[in-house]
Amino acid sequence: MVLADLLTATRYELNITVIVLNNGSLQMERDKIKAANKKEVGIDLTNPDFVKLAEACGWIGLRAASDTELEAVLEEALHTNAPTLVDIRTAQVFFPETK
């Protein structure tokens, strides 16, 4: 949804870091459906490789291979003087809405 924004950041050499919390689904919609005890349809995503996508747009793309590498990857991203994207793979966790 923000591919043009990646290219704009490259054009203007913006020193920004984008963090993608990637659980492969539309989590808020999944939670609403689960809370309503409805059938889950159309909420799983087919995501691209965000690291490769960022690199194709002129960014630095990073991904931690394990939990123990996460802090070092985030430090590297925050201290890089270029547009940087960090893809963090996360679990799907149910957070029902409360009133």
Residues 8, 61, 44: CA angle, nearest 5 degrees: 90
- Quick check: 11 pLDDT over 80? yes
**What pLDDT was estimated at residue 22?**
80
Mean pLDDT lowest for which of 4-8, 12-16, 46-50, 94-98?
A: 94-98
**What pLDDT was estimated at residue 34?**
65
Using CA atoms, how far residue 91 sits from 21, 68, 73, in Å, is 9, 16, 19
pLDDT digits (tens, 9 = 90+) for 15-65: 999 998 887 666 566 667 767 777 766 666 677 888 999 999 999 999 988
Q: Which CATH class is domain 3-89?
A: alpha beta
**What pLDDT was estimated at residue 67?**
87
**Residue 23 DSSP code:** -
The residue type of 51 is V
Domains of the chain, residue spans: 3-89
